[in-house]
Structure 1
Amino acid sequence: MRVLGVTALVALVAASAADAACDPSKWTPPSDGVYNTSSRVDPDKLNVHLIAHSHDDPGWLVGVDQYYMEKVQYILDTAVEELVRNPDRQFMFVEQSFFQRWWHQQGSEVRGVVKQLVKEGRLDLTVNGGWCMHDEATPHYIAMVDQTAYGHQLLMDEFGVSPRIGWQIDPFGHSATQGSLLSQGVGFDALYFARIDYQDYANRKKNKDLEFIWRPSKSRGKASQVFTGEIIDHYCPPGKFDYGNNGNQIQDDADLHDYDVCDEVDQFVNNAKMRGGASKGNHVFIPMGCDFQFDNSRRWFKNMDKLIHYVNQDARVNVLYSNLSYYTDVKRAEGLTWSVKSDDFFPYASARDDYWSGFFTSRPTLKRFARVANTLLQQVRQVDAVYQSHHSSELVALQRAVGLVQHHDGLSGTEKQSVADDYALRLNDGIIQAEKELNEVLFVIGEKEPYHFCLLANTSVCDVSTQNADFEVLVHNALAHTTVQTVSIPITHKSAAATVLSGDASVRAQDVFVALPVHPETQVAPYSFVFSVELKPLSTSRLLVKQKDANIEDDNEHQLEYAGAHGVDAEVTDDDVVVLENHHLRAEISKTTGSITKLANKKQNIQIPLSLNVAYYQAFQGDGPKSGAYIFRPDSNKTFPVTGTASDGAAAGSLPNVTMVELQTNTHNGLASVPRVAFKIGSWVTLEYRVNDEDEFLEIEWTVGSVPIDDKKGKEVIVRFDAGDSIASDGTLYTDSNGLEFVKRVRNHRDTWNLTLHDNQEGVSANYFPITTGAYIKDKKRQLNLVTDRAQGAASLVDGQVEVMVHRRLLADDGKGVSEHLNETESVFDSVAKKNVTKGLAVRGNFFINVDSAEDSMRSLRSKMESQFFRPLTAYRKPVANDVKAKVPWLTVSEFPPNVGLTTVQELSKQCLMVRLSHLYAVEEHATLSQPATVDFSALFSVKNSVVSEVTELVLTGTKELRAEDERVGLEWKTTDDAYGWSPQSLPVKGTTVVLQAVEVRAFRVCFAKGSAVAVEEGGSDAESKKKAAEVGAKDMDDVDSWEQEEGYSFGAALQDLAEMIAIE
């Protein structure tokens, strides 16, 4: 028996006295054991809406599979059981990556119950509805739309419901794209979240401004606004009302000493009144649930039943089970006037020195891999559509993997290492299936030998090209524009040449260069074959590459050493400059420092001085907030060069211990060369400068790592571009929002409150912002543009400068729950020691920079962002006989307007495609290209033996037709001001023609049929025209079958042949 001390006895007596003060006769318990939960809205009271939910991360501390097995399946099992017990109860579930797994494991009886609960709205699946709750800082908008659409389509197919509420409660800051395209754009009437800057939160709470109208798109204005709410005190219940984590329950048995109804009611009412005091109107909501809660739903619902029963007897407030759709509707019905916010919510700070701007860069290789996988998914979908395979099931694995990694603890880099590895494995498995899908499509059109992706080609690894003297390259252009792109392939010979076997491609320039390994001690392909190729819109071409001389293994004259046959020591001479140029640009690079010194735009006759410095911040590791997976907190505002002493963060320093690496070997066939030069900086950084054919941008390939930690100090590595006084940027940086619109960033400033910075370190971390594809600084005459190959953090801490964080290696945890240092390592085979060694992760990536006039700069920037995201799809195989007849694609695409992007092309049926179009420019970015763009599908899409018969606009997710104007515009709200108050009209489809306004992204169903196109005449009957189109389509359902017969093959037969070949092998 445990003996109580004096202090414990006193506490017990005090508690008993308090209990005695609570008169049980004040409360009426249920006589039949059933609590009264039937309350509805009371117009004369503060109404408290209980929102029962569970926030379920599909990966964070453990992987998605483990979370499902240990928690989520029991959450859904027990929640459904408890909803059936009481018709007043409601429960919200969000993450479709979990729900769909659970749904497909249920029998018919449970499915019938669930469908009825969904129909009644008590199991609420109309909130968010994506495959995951995506991050908002690091994904590209195409991936955000894609994963949202995938979840929405599954909900529509199974339950016939469309989500109408956004629920982004855990991402670490919120983007302008989320507030526009991913809210109103996907059909959401409201958006609720739980993480905004602590200073902003305090101001808004004080001013009753935690709910407001968010109108972040200057281009779309009111047409893309959304009612937005920041949840008071986070997304978990207040204090003792968390019935899962803290073990509390309501004791309403008056015969027991721990009877606590009075205390429970008082605390709840006080909290509700606090929320009411910070809100407008007579309605507030309290989230009831938290991370992975409701695995014991009985406990949660029984206590909530008691809470509603007794609080409503108290009668000071009215409490009810509710859902966010109903809450939004009653808030709107109050007719209140709301403030307007027109910027975004980055970076997020939860406290002093606690800026969540580190995750913008965390896990850079995962960020790049996810970008590559996302682009690959879009490209293989296109190939499916172009050749009308009717067989895209192999893409499901990649679609799910790409969707899953967009999770706010996935692509963000804020998960444990084992979980990051799991995301990467899923992406890799999905890519393997996509390769299989690509080959099945190509097999159908006569390509009998399979192709293989080489995802590590940028690190000089590709089995096909290094194990065969000759090989074929398949190149697919996913752009709707003719493009000149550069392809780099690892090879083992000193000379090579490419020729076109089939397709409309033309090789323009080619060279062979010495390859730079990521780790000097590893043995990889010694050379890179680089060629530029012109590609037509949505075209696929086949090239043959022939290597021309002896294998490098038989050539002792060449060794892969920086300071050997291909490396020269830096030497200061009168001719200290390397010049790289094409007819667009000229770059001068110092042999001594390895830094660019001048950058010129030859066509605009603009030249600026420009330096590049690689440096790092030392991570803070003392008491208080530390740099970690989430947090960026340097120990000062000083930066250190890769070797040497600290230099002031505002000063441009030289790069020490520089070795220039001669790369070019020779030119070929009289074609123009592709000039480049590389430098080794210190012991763990390399820079390679490239000027590619027809490119307006200088390409800079950087390799960073292994980052040394022998001094026991974490490091956050940056690349800083400094144009000095040549660009008077006036404290302003512009960063892209998920690859869509740009957001103006003013140093040490926030639009909606007066930012307080407490020290020099905060002056750094508070001015870091996420970039997904690009950033720029400008003045009235010129603009310096930067395009990147993955999500990163960027800042402009001094006028004329842009710095980008490229890598982080940290030795402390930031205390945000991961409990693991962000210290990524890799196993590397040491070709000298002949064994695997563990080293810090080395990262390789690319920047693209140019300078342009103020008038034309956004044209070059937007074009580069689009072409860099949609790099050509390349696949490789051994050469095959050229007697195979090339099949004509089912779909060909003509040149699109230069301001329109073909974002998605996906098969819907034999004669219909789902097409998403994006206007690539925002308002006021360009005098002509920002204007509305017209797309006539009948003129731009050509289908064998058919024409465009119908174009119908869909909601952006593609789940249903966009039928009414109010679906496009969204709900109307009264506002206090008119920031971005215009509402550009989204023009309806007319016949086969659509008009896109600036930065619009829209989805369409495009159908084809034999004979004449059926157009909807202006003022005519849309329904009648659709009926005619349907009749034409029904009559020609066998268009594709007849095409197959003409071409002499059958898709089903081809698959059977492929299966037999695989079985034989």
Structure 2
Amino acid sequence: MRVLGILAAAFASASASCDPSKWTPPSNGVYNTSSRVDPNKLNVHLIAHSHDDPGWLIGVDQYYIQKVQYILDTAVEELVRNPDRQFMFVEQSFFQRWWHQQGSEVRGIVKQLVREGRLDLTVNGGWCMHDEATPHYIAMVDQTAYGHQLLMDEFGISPRIGWQIDPFGHSATQGSLLSQGVGFDALYFARIDYQDYGHRKKNKDLEFIWRPSKSRGKASQVFTGEIIDHYCPPGKFDFGNNGNQIQDDPTLHDFDVCDEVEQFVNNAKMRGGASKGNHVFIPMGCDFQYDNSLRWFKNMDKLIHYVNQDGRINVLYSNLSYYTDEKRAEGLTWSVKTDDFFPYASARDDYWSGFFTSRPTLKRFAQVANTLLQQVRQLDAVYQSHHSSALVALQRAVGLVQHHDGLSGTEKQSVADDYALRLNDGIIQAEKELNEVLFVIGEKEPYHFCLLANTSVCDISTQNTDFEVLVHNALARTSVQTVSIPITHKSAEISVLSGDGNIRNKDVFVALPVHPETKVAPYSFVFSVELKPLSTTRFLVKQKDAVTEQESISDDNVKVNSENDDVVVLENHLMRAEISKTTGSITKLANKKKNIQIPLSLDVAYYQAFQGDGPKSGAYVFRPDSNKTYPVTGSRADGLTTTDPMPDATMVELQTTAAINGGVTSVPRVAFKVGSWVTLEYRVNDDDEFLEIEWTVGPVPIDDKKGKEVIVRFDAGENIASDDTLYTDSNGLEFMKRVRNHRDSWNLTLHDNQEAVAANYFPITTGAYIKDSKRQLNVVTDRAQGAASLANGQLEVMVHRRLLADDSKGVAENLNETESVYDVNTKQHVTKGLVVRGNFFINVDSVDDGMRSIRSKMESQFFRPLTVYRKPVPSEVKAKVPWLTVGEFPTNVGLTTLQELSKQCLMELSTEEGVGAMEWKTTDDTYGWSPRSLPVKGTSVTLQAIEVRAFRVCFAKDPKNIGAATVIDNTDTENESTDSWDEDIGTMLQDLAEIIAME
């Protein structure tokens, strides 16, 4: 009885403090939600949204079936109920699927809601919410443009707000090219470093002007906002996840309007106190919310009704466009940020810099698929097959994997497998489309991709003694490329069947299998070829066992020299490298043209992952157990027993792959087995100033129950006085300056040596470099990775991760990738740790020319030549049409995309040189840029530094005049040019190539 008395007294006290008579519920059951902006109060904009990952813990299909279809179904129903309600939906990969499943009645309703702005599709609008650390800018633009095109086609709308709330850090490319560059008026996100966030919140600086491009400056700035307390609602106002409901029936004992209003007003005032002006917004939604939209909207109706009755603040249904317009109208002054937001840390020892490298094979596969998409599109546009719809599967797969829990490597293994399956299915369709294109110009027999050629697997070349190879150069400039083909014979001949490709060198080498126990081609046929811009050449390769001295087409400028017992020298007329026979490391690297030589070492080592209490290394987080690295020669590989001897720390098995056909090697290479689970192969390619290094890593040993994070470290020591500074690319576009233990926007606090390692790792998509006042060391990579410079003269890149703990970021799965390998000896499949193979390209250059060389290699590495294979065909069924040849683009202008859009072609050009590459200092201490432009038949197009511009190339309908074209600059649609050319397609594209030229 005494307990009941105490409870009764407590209830009476609560009832007295919350008088139900103070609140006026609606007499007709309809809450007053019609409020608009009040200039005399703090205005709180409620942004109803659902954050829907197209793949993370389960696949995109499962998320759609289990959640997203009901989110859109019920959200539309609830918007119809109340004309004040608004709802924002972002991911077009989900919306387009739902849209095409609806009947005419629902479509009509949706179109009306979109016209009214109440179903807001003008936020982001991409196929997904892409990651910002790991994608290439071409893929970012591609997936964004694809979603925007669908919205324009179906609703006549263009997104105007960026919404990147879940990516783990934010790139300069996002802040420039993917914001102002795609027409966004503002950009909002929810993840910045916890130290940065604290400073900004304290100083009312969570909204600011972001101007991240040194080259573009104000031309690419964007109003930017960091969301207070993440993208979910505060506490009890998450009406989906925590089950809380506003109880406003005064006849019931749990009437809680007073408490709900008080908590909401206090939270809103906190947000107002951390913001400038009289407007704040609160995100009302979270991951996969609104599958029961009634629950959300009914409670928000009540919240607006009662908070506005209270009168201290003004609450309204809103959208981000309206909010942004109101912020702009206040006429406030904003600070300017010029750096980016990498790496992201959510707490002490919790740096999200591991995902820069996580799932390295998926990262590579996605880049290969993206390149294939651009190449097949290009051929489709040039030869007008009008089958570009066949590329939709690959376009969607490449777009989908850019998702911030896709390419990032932060999804569950089953979801990563699903992304890879979609890419593979898309590539199969792209192969069919490629053959449709070639059929148009007379190629009747199909070609096939060999995506595993780098692992010595290709059915066409290993099952046929003779075969044809078609090589397409997607670059808009002449390029010398090296092609490697798996073969089964010790010798091979090659000849040109059509096209004007010029064979320069050829050789046969012993292949290095990824898995020694598997059956693969024993040899690699390697040839270098000079290819004209956008040109295609067809070759015939004939294998044979007999070897003659006359078969080599060797160039005396390219050779291997082993006269010194301690080193192997690889060189051509542009560069020279010395490799230690004892350690397998580079010892010297030289640029012959510039007469520059530096001592240089290469080490393969690993950090041991932290697995104790607190943050751990996982799919997202990089946290080593110390700042120490361990040599790979000191670790046991999978399959070794305790009785096997450990590899000697200095033991390196030298395997030279000198040409079998004797004489001077034209594409010299030498390979080393380092320890038991790392192989390094060094190559010097024809007419290439870069040394190519093929690395094979794995299976990473875990018999000691410790996770490992493998790095390759280049060390020039004091020979490059890099002044604590590293330069990393931003999504393959502009380079960012990284100063060790420093952030431009705030004073960085580091708590221990381990944290100093993770905090100085930055994402690279295509390359990085260090430099001093004279020399620059360039490293170009073949996929997204993490990179750091932890000492002057050093540059290290993380290539593989195998971890035995989860980092507690939601995926709830260790990053321990394995693969099934068929052992030809035991005739059984064996599950082993994942083996990864990749490539670096390194060179040393002068500071004046260093940017030119790394830019050129980044472009040529991304657009490696398209190579396809088929059995030999009789001459009577070969193409009778000559291949296309066009003019050269300037070295600083790239052709990023050429694709067919209906009866037109979309052409995207980019300048990839920053201001720092060609600069003149002006009187105001800023840098000037000399635009690249040249009038062509009355049309002048200008590209500024680090700019991507798109043009429509319109082909005439008259079959007698198929080369006529109109160039429309999409950046100035009010003044369309109507100049045309009465020339063939080749000449037309040659003119287009000459639109942008050096002054």
- What TM-score, normalized by structure 1, do the two folds share? 0.86
Structure 1 SS opposite 2:448:
coil
Aligned counterpart, 2:909: 917
- Residues 712, 80 of structure 1: alpha-carbon distance in 2 compared, 3 angstrom cutoff: same
Structure 2 SS opposite 1:893:
coil
Which residue among 492, 495, 510 is the counterpart of 1:514? 510
Residues 845-867 of structure 1 deviation map (CA, whole Å, 9 limit, x = unaligned)? 00000000011111111000000
Aligned counterpart, 1:280: 276
Work out whether 1:996 is the aligned partner of 2:992.
Answer: no
Structure 2 SS opposite 1:905:
strand
Aligned counterpart, 1:962: none
**Distance in 1 separating the partners of 2:967 and 2:57:** 54
Q: CA deviation at 1:993?
A: 2.9
**Distance in 2 separating the partners of 1:661 and 1:645:** 21
Aligned counterpart, 1:154: 150
Work out whether 1:1006 is the aligned partner of 2:953.
Answer: yes
Aligned counterpart, 2:994: none
Counterparts of residues 178-327 of structure 1 (less than 5 Å): 178-327=174-323
Aligned counterpart, 1:713: 706
**Distance in 2 separating the partners of 1:984 and 1:190:** 29
Residues 663-686 of structure 1 deviation map (CA, whole Å, 9 limit, x = unaligned)? 123348x89610000000000000
Equivalent AA in structure 2 for residue 137 of structure 1: A
Residues 796-818 of structure 1 deviation map (CA, whole Å, 9 limit, x = unaligned)? 00000000000000000000000
**Distance in 2 separating the partners of 1:923 and 1:276:** 39
Residues 342-371 of structure 1 deviation map (CA, whole Å, 9 limit, x = unaligned)? 000000000000000000000000000000
Contact 1:90 1:122 in 2 (8 A): yes
Structure 2 SS opposite 1:613:
strand
Aligned counterpart, 1:700: 693
Structure 2 SS opposite 1:117:
helix
Residues 641-666 of structure 1 deviation map (CA, whole Å, 9 limit, x = unaligned)? 002399xxxxxx99622001121233
Q: CA deviation at 1:19?
A: 3.5
Structure 1 SS opposite 2:107:
helix
Work out whether 1:812 is the aligned partner of 2:785.
Answer: no
**Distance in 2 separating the partners of 1:93 and 1:986:** 40
Work out whether 1:47 is the aligned partner of 2:71.
Answer: no
Could you tell me which runs of 5 or more consecutive residues in structure 2 were left unpaired when the two chains were aligned: 548-561, 637-646, 989-999
- Residues 1025, 180 of structure 1: alpha-carbon distance in 2 compared, 3 angstrom cutoff: closer
Equivalent AA in structure 1 for residue 705 of structure 2: K
**Distance in 2 separating the partners of 1:806 and 1:371:** 15
Structure 2 SS opposite 1:337:
coil
Contact 2:45 2:282 in 1 (8 A): yes
> Which range is displaced more, 491-500 or 12-21?
12-21
Contact 1:613 1:654 in 2 (8 A): no
Work out whether 1:758 is the aligned partner of 2:747.
Answer: no
Equivalent AA in structure 1 for residue 89 of structure 2: F
**Distance in 1 separating the partners of 2:333 and 2:59:** 44
Work out whether 1:588 is the aligned partner of 2:584.
Answer: no
Work out whether 1:129 is the aligned partner of 2:121.
Answer: no
Contact 1:223 1:984 in 2 (8 A): no
Structure 1 SS opposite 2:941:
strand
Q: Which has the higher contact order (CA 8 A, sep 6+)?
A: 1
**Distance in 2 separating the partners of 1:763 and 1:450:** 54
Equivalent AA in structure 2 for residue 661 of structure 1: Q
Q: CA deviation at 1:404?
A: 0.1
Structure 2 SS opposite 1:924:
helix
Residues 667-712 of structure 1 deviation map (CA, whole Å, 9 limit, x = unaligned)? 48x8961000000000000000000000110000000000000000
Which residue among 744, 761, 786 is the counterpart of 1:768? 761
Structure 1 SS opposite 2:848:
coil
Counterparts of residues 248-647 of structure 1 (less than 5 Å): 248-549=244-545, 575-644=565-634
**Distance in 1 separating the partners of 2:572 and 2:739:** 35
Equivalent AA in structure 2 for residue 809 of structure 1: R
Work out whether 1:735 is the aligned partner of 2:728.
Answer: yes
Residues 375-403 of structure 1 deviation map (CA, whole Å, 9 limit, x = unaligned)? 00000001101211111111000000000
Which residue among 886, 890, 897 is the counterpart of 1:893? 886
Contact 1:349 1:356 in 2 (8 A): yes
Aligned counterpart, 1:92: 88
Work out whether 1:57 is the aligned partner of 2:56.
Answer: no
Contact 2:86 2:317 in 1 (8 A): yes
**Distance in 1 separating the partners of 2:368 and 2:499:** 24
Residues 134-181 of structure 1 deviation map (CA, whole Å, 9 limit, x = unaligned)? 000000000000000000000000000000000000000000000000
**Distance in 1 separating the partners of 2:872 and 2:19:** 89
Q: CA deviation at 1:888?
A: 3.8
**Distance in 2 separating the partners of 1:358 and 1:1028:** 51
Q: CA deviation at 1:441?
A: 1.2
**Distance in 2 separating the partners of 1:737 and 1:51:** 31
**Distance in 2 separating the partners of 1:620 and 1:418:** 25
**Distance in 2 separating the partners of 1:72 and 1:80:** 12
Contact 1:495 1:548 in 2 (8 A): yes
Q: CA deviation at 1:907?
A: 1.5
Q: CA deviation at 1:920?
A: 1.7
Structure 1 SS opposite 2:896:
strand
Contact 2:121 2:159 in 1 (8 A): yes
- Residues 821, 307 of structure 1: alpha-carbon distance in 2 compared, 3 angstrom cutoff: same
**Distance in 1 separating the partners of 2:271 and 2:91:** 27
Structure 1 SS opposite 2:799:
strand
Could you tell me which runs of 5 or more consecutive residues in structure 1 were left unpaired when the two chains were aligned: 552-571, 647-652, 932-977, 1044-1065
Structure 2 SS opposite 1:856:
helix
**Distance in 2 separating the partners of 1:550 and 1:811:** 51
- Residues 531, 987 of structure 1: alpha-carbon distance in 2 compared, 3 angstrom cutoff: closer
**Distance in 2 separating the partners of 1:983 and 1:60:** 43
Residues 820-844 of structure 1 deviation map (CA, whole Å, 9 limit, x = unaligned)? 0000000001122111000000000
- Residues 980, 174 of structure 1: alpha-carbon distance in 2 compared, 3 angstrom cutoff: farther
Equivalent AA in structure 2 for residue 579 of structure 1: V
Contact 2:357 2:798 in 1 (8 A): yes
**Distance in 2 separating the partners of 1:1022 and 1:836:** 59
- Residues 292, 66 of structure 1: alpha-carbon distance in 2 compared, 3 angstrom cutoff: same
- Residues 1011, 499 of structure 1: alpha-carbon distance in 2 compared, 3 angstrom cutoff: closer
Equivalent AA in structure 2 for residue 606 of structure 1: I
**Distance in 1 separating the partners of 2:12 and 2:767:** 64
- What TM-score, normalized by structure 2, do the two folds share? 0.92
Q: CA deviation at 1:884?
A: 3.9
**Distance in 1 separating the partners of 2:933 and 2:15:** 67
- Residues 28, 498 of structure 1: alpha-carbon distance in 2 compared, 3 angstrom cutoff: same
What CA RMSD, in Å, does the superposition of the two structures yield over aligned residues?
2.7
**Distance in 1 separating the partners of 2:317 and 2:765:** 40
Structure 2 SS opposite 1:431:
helix
Equivalent AA in structure 2 for residue 820 of structure 1: E
Q: CA deviation at 1:908?
A: 2.5
- Residues 391, 662 of structure 1: alpha-carbon distance in 2 compared, 3 angstrom cutoff: same
Work out whether 1:784 is the aligned partner of 2:777.
Answer: yes
**Distance in 1 separating the partners of 2:567 and 2:387:** 55
Contact 2:915 2:929 in 1 (8 A): no
Contact 2:634 2:648 in 1 (8 A): no
Equivalent AA in structure 1 for residue 577 of structure 2: A
**Distance in 1 separating the partners of 2:199 and 2:878:** 69
- Residues 825, 264 of structure 1: alpha-carbon distance in 2 compared, 3 angstrom cutoff: same
Counterparts of residues 796-835 of structure 1 (less than 5 Å): 796-835=789-828
Aligned counterpart, 1:657: 651
Equivalent AA in structure 2 for residue 902 of structure 1: L
